[in-house]
Amino acid sequence: QAIHLSDYLPPAYRVRHTELTFDLDPAATRVKARLHLERHPEREAGAALELDGEQLTLESVAIDGQSLGADEYQLTEQGLRIEGVPSHFQLDTEVTIAPEANTALEGLYQSGGMFCTQCEAEGFRRITFYPDRPDVMATFSTTVIGQAEREPVLLSNGNPVERGELPNGRHFVTWEDPHPKPCYLFALVAGDLKKVEDRFTTMSGRDVTLQIWVEEENLGKTDHAMASLKRAMRWDEETYGREYDLDLFMIVAVNDFNMGAMENKGLNIFNSAAVLTHPDTATDAAFQRVEGIVAHEYFHNWSGNRVTCRDWFQLSLKEGFTVFRDQTFSADVNSAPVKRIQDVSFFRTAQFAEDAGPTAHPVRPDHYIEIGNFYTLTIYEKGAEIVRMLRNLVGWEAFRRGSDLYFARFDGQAVTIEDFVACMAEASGKDLNQFMLWYSQAGTPEIDAHGEYDYARAEYRLVLRQRTPATPGQADKQALHIPLRMGLVGTKSGRDLALTLDGESIGRDGVIHLREEEQEFVFTDLAEAPVPSLARGFSAPVKLNFPYSREDLAFLLANDSDGFNRWDAGQRLALLALDDLIAAHRNGVEKVMDTRVTEAFRTLLRTDTDDKAILAEMLTLPSEAYIAEQQPVVDVDAIHAARQFVKQSLAGTLRDDFLAVYQTNVDAAPYAPEPEQIAARSLKNVALSYLMSIEDETAVSLAQRQFEAEHNMTDVRHALTLLTHSSRDDLADPALKTFGQKWAHDPLVMDQWFSIQVSRPQDDALERARFLMEHEAFSLTNPNKVRALIGAFAQNRVNFHRLDGEGYKLLANAVIELNRLNPEIAARLLTPLTRWRRFDETRQDLMKAELERIQAEDLSPNVYEVIEKALA
């Protein structure tokens, strides 16, 4: 049942205009659809009309006003087929659906008391019979009828054009969306919602009303999202020349939502976790996430909606580009190097793991069973890295010309990744043919580099060798075009040396192009021996190996002009030390701290920097998950012990320095999610983490005081985490109790309360997880709760990977239940088990047994596809 890219055909019939009427009812909503259809000019006459439709009860169907008898159409589980239709006609259907029974949260469903929709990728077919594919674009006119008292607010895409009262306490609103769109961008919301309103004037003078719709108790949590929206609108005008195109832009917050948010035309629907903030309930990280997601969905209005995807294989066309756009936006309005460090450290941990596992796939896959499984880090984040490389390859100005060309040429169309890259090639005059391989080859390329300085000739020879490992279905890989930004840092001067390659200057911070499997670069006229600083700013999504000595790394940490690579040198240095300690732990040898790491930390702690945010990142050790990525066989216990050892020895040796950093960064000013405040808080909290790792009395009382001060959620949550993750239940339990009681009414805060408890390293985490699954605030039908409790537990490395297999069992049981309730969430939750090949034999067997237990169930396509790949 796999679908292949190579089978693409244009639709037999197009829809010019779609008229919908919803008569809302939780158990039986009636949906009337009138489609104005015409034969596709590139398709033969006389083809049957095939409409997608799932879980619909068909009431009636008519063509050009003539109703059809049961023998005049074929109805299957997947849809409706009608033969012998004219080449231009009107189709009327009426169906009933049951939103209250929809736990998959695709199509029309209920969240709390309200109705809402999620149609991307293929949810619209659960609303009505339709050609549910992105290359069918129509204008929509939608009438929503509801109970005036229960659903005072009735929303859909575009502009409201008519409203009125109906008998029996019902009322209606009609919406018109003048921009042709695929049905995955359709949205409807109805319920007892309240709004916050603002205005924005676009660069050409259009006056736009901005609304954020929430449940009444959340009215105080919309300021930051609204401010972010206005910043994003202005930024897209200034950076890409893109302007908003309707008079109204709406955001709605819903509690039950599979993903972060959805860019429905003019009516973005958000997971409440991705839009609501308040200093008392949301952390700095949450404020920044909201800003990024609000921008992301807004940016889709052009990169996604005005120009959309021809088919779902092209998903990264809109997602990769839009993630790149939101990343640059966040970098522009916050600290750019810190944003890059955070994005890359997440990418190298999670996307590298995906690309090395059984579900690895190219940024443009060539087949799938369930498209819902392809909203992945590869499509989104690796896709964004490819767009970033493109920008660096052609330069910002050509990139912007290419982007203008793309939007002008394809406005109102559904297009492909080739179309996008062709615009970049055209605007820049560059040959991007080899570059296209990035879209079709899966797996993380590895570059083995080495270099030598020749004193006599004043030359540095750098040799790079690339290889991309085999991935499922792709045994042999070709050499990619990899642009690497780099510098040569002089060992005497500590400065970037001027780079001369083949007699030509490429500056001091230049780009070299690796195109062959192996290539040599000879830099000439170098008066001093350099240490190379390669792939600056993570200029390509690759693993770069260079045989750096620890002295080289300490040197780069102190001298590299690239903030990102300075941070990376520190990470590499820590990883080398951690490697030794992991080996020592496994061999039962006494652990000895590498003093070069301690000295590097001492220097960092004592430098007076104005960039506290970068410093906080530099003082943060690689995560257990990232360390695991570097190991041939993952030993969760050794990794945990080694990292803990480094933390404690640093804290022991540098206690006074950490304490000083903590104290200088305590701030009583009113909370603001501003870069300087955020930087100081993160530095202070990193220091507190080190201090708490040795749990001395000073640290404990600082953590307790910070918890009790209730100054803002960032500080409270961090303190609560440290108390909960300490070895002392007498610190953990009272704090958890206070917090849990105080926030029992706030679901988003309770999510944090769940996560903190189930991620504690103590060996009762599993029992706590089981116990909390019975808590009244937990619910398996709410994706946020599932992620906060079960998802977070599966990231608790030492406890999820318990040797009695109980951690795996807990996850598998949840997957089995969710397979029936919400297949998309079930398939996603399963991810950690699919990585079974990375562990020792005992754990492999235990994990595999759970995968097989799931396999024996009656599986949804989502879970089926992931299980098949995992066990292949």
- Give SS3 for 162: strand
Q: How far is CA 7 from CA 4, 47, 370, 434, in A?
A: 5, 17, 16, 24
Give the pairing of strands 66-67 and 49-52.
unpaired
In the shown chain, the binding pattern of residues 552 to 581 toward ligand ARG, with x for contact by CB under 6 A and - for none, equals ------------------------------
User: Of residues 51, 145, 262, 777, which one binds ligand ARG by CB under 6 A?
Assistant: 262
Among 18-26, 76-84, 259-267, 426-434, the segment contacting ligand ARG (CB under 6 A): 259-267
**Which of 416, 796 has the CB closer to Zn ion?**
416
Residue 268 Cβ vs Zn ion, minimum distance, rounded to whole Å? 11
Sign of the Cα pseudo-torsion (392, 398, 404, 407, in order): negative
Q: How many chain residues interact with ligand ARG (CB under 6 A)?
A: 13
Contact 294, 229 (CB under 8 A): yes
Token pair in block for residue 506: 């490429």
User: Of residues 177, 263, 562, 746, which one binds ligand ARG by CB under 6 A?
Assistant: 263
**Which of 322, 784 has the CB closer to Zn ion?**
322
Among 253-261, 269-277, 526-534, 660-668, the segment contacting ligand ARG (CB under 6 A): 253-261
> What is the DSSP secondary structure assignment for residue 789, as one 8-state letter?
I
- Give SS3 for 549: coil
From 134, 127, 49, 129, select the one nearest 87 (Cα to Cα).
49
Which 163-192 positions form the footprint of ligand ARG (CB under 6 A)?
none
* Residue 424 touching ligand ARG (CB under 6 A): no
Token pair in block for residue 522: 């000879």
Residue 293 Cβ vs ligand ARG, minimum distance, rounded to whole Å? 8
Catalytic residue among 50, 297, 381, 385: 297
- Alpha-carbon span 592 to 606, nearest angstrom: 24
Cis before 98? omega within 30: no
- What is the CA angle 584-589-595, rounded to 5? 60
- Alpha-carbon span 684 to 715, nearest angstrom: 9
Residue 259 Cβ vs Zn ion, minimum distance, rounded to whole Å? 9
Residue 398 Cβ vs Zn ion, minimum distance, rounded to whole Å? 25
**Which of 171, 820 has the CB closer to ligand ARG?**
820
Residue 381 Cβ vs ligand ARG, minimum distance, rounded to whole Å? 11
Among 89-97, 255-263, 549-557, 624-632, the segment contacting ligand ARG (CB under 6 A): 255-263
In the shown chain, the binding pattern of residues 818 to 847 toward ligand ARG, with x for contact by CB under 6 A and - for none, equals ------x-----------------------
Burial 171-203 (b: 16+ CB within 10 A, else e): bbbbbebebbbbbbbbbbbbbebebbebebeee
- Report which secondary-structure segment, H or E, holds 140: strand 138-147
Residues 6+ apart with CB under 8 A from 443: 355, 356, 360, 468, 469, 470, 471, 474, 477
Residue 616 near which of Zn ion, ligand ARG, none (CB within 5-8 Å, type-dependent)? none
Residue 103 Cβ vs ligand ARG, minimum distance, rounded to whole Å? 15
Residue 262 near which of ligand ARG, Zn ion, none (CB within 5-8 Å, type-dependent)? ligand ARG
The most distant pair of C-alpha atoms in the chain lies apart, rounded to whole Å, by: 95
- What is the CA angle 827-323-506, rounded to 5? 130
- Alpha-carbon span 705 to 702, nearest angstrom: 5
| Distance in Å from the first CA to the final CA of the chain | 17
Token pair in block for residue 447: 């570059």
Among 139-147, 243-251, 319-327, 438-446, the segment contacting Zn ion (CB under 5 A): 319-327
Sign of the Cα pseudo-torsion (847, 848, 850, 855, in order): positive
Residues 6+ apart with CB under 8 A from 234: none
Residue 821 Cβ vs ligand ARG, minimum distance, rounded to whole Å? 15
Residues 6+ apart with CB under 8 A from 151: 24, 114, 115, 190, 191, 192
In the shown chain, the binding pattern of residues 146 to 185 toward Zn ion, with x for contact by CB under 5 A and - for none, equals ----------------------------------------
- Alpha-carbon span 381 to 362, nearest angstrom: 12
Contact 666, 602 (CB under 8 A): no
Residue 720 near which of ligand ARG, Zn ion, none (CB within 5-8 Å, type-dependent)? none
User: Of residues 261, 389, 758, 789, which one binds ligand ARG by CB under 6 A?
Assistant: 261
Q: How many residues does the chain have?
A: 872
Residue 303 Cβ vs ligand ARG, minimum distance, rounded to whole Å? 11
Which 660-699 positions form the footprint of ligand ARG (CB under 6 A)?
none
Among 146-154, 260-268, 497-505, 568-576, the segment contacting ligand ARG (CB under 6 A): 260-268
Give the pairing of strands 446-454 and 543-545.
parallel
Let me know if 817 is a catalytic residue: no
Residue 184 Cβ vs ligand ARG, minimum distance, rounded to whole Å? 8
Residue 185 Cβ vs Zn ion, minimum distance, rounded to whole Å? 12
* Residue 297 touching ligand ARG (CB under 6 A): yes
Residue 577 Cβ vs Zn ion, minimum distance, rounded to whole Å? 39
- What is the CA angle 614-620-626, rounded to 5? 115
Among 68-76, 254-262, 474-482, 605-613, the segment contacting ligand ARG (CB under 6 A): 254-262
In the shown chain, the binding pattern of residues 355 to 394 toward ligand ARG, with x for contact by CB under 6 A and - for none, equals -----------------x--x-------------------
446 phi and psi angles, rounded to 5 deg:
-110, 140
Q: How many chain residues interact with Zn ion (CB under 5 A)?
A: 2
Among 108-116, 256-264, 523-531, 862-870, the segment contacting ligand ARG (CB under 6 A): 256-264
- Give SS3 for 477: coil
**Which of 117, 571 has the CB closer to ligand ARG?**
117
Which 102-131 positions form the footprint of ligand ARG (CB under 6 A)?
120-121
**Which of 294, 613 has the CB closer to ligand ARG?**
294
Give the pairing of strands 543-545 and 510-514.
unpaired
- Alpha-carbon span 201 to 536, nearest angstrom: 39
Among 115-123, 270-278, 313-321, 549-557, the segment contacting Zn ion (CB under 5 A): 313-321
Token pair in block for residue 423: 């615009």
Contact 250, 684 (CB under 8 A): no
**Which of 375, 410 has the CB closer to ligand ARG?**
375
Residue 305 Cβ vs Zn ion, minimum distance, rounded to whole Å? 11
Residue 296 Cβ vs Zn ion, minimum distance, rounded to whole Å? 6
Residue 11 near which of ligand ARG, Zn ion, none (CB within 5-8 Å, type-dependent)? none
Residue 120 near which of Zn ion, ligand ARG, none (CB within 5-8 Å, type-dependent)? ligand ARG
In the shown chain, the binding pattern of residues 303 to 342 toward ligand ARG, with x for contact by CB under 6 A and - for none, equals ----------------x-----------------------
User: What would the 3-class secondary structure string for 702-715 be?
Assistant: HHHHHHHHCCCHHH
Other CB atoms closer than 10 Å to residue 814's CB: what's the count?
23
* Residue 154 touching ligand ARG (CB under 6 A): no
Residue 819's Cα: distance from chain center in Å?
22
In the shown chain, the binding pattern of residues 271 to 310 toward Zn ion, with x for contact by CB under 5 A and - for none, equals ----------------------------------------
Residues at the site binding ligand ARG, with contacts judged by CB under 6 A: 120-121, 258-259, 261-263, 296-297, 319, 372, 375, 824
Residues at the site binding Zn ion, with contacts judged by CB under 5 A: 319, 322
Question: What residues are labeled active site?
Answer: 297
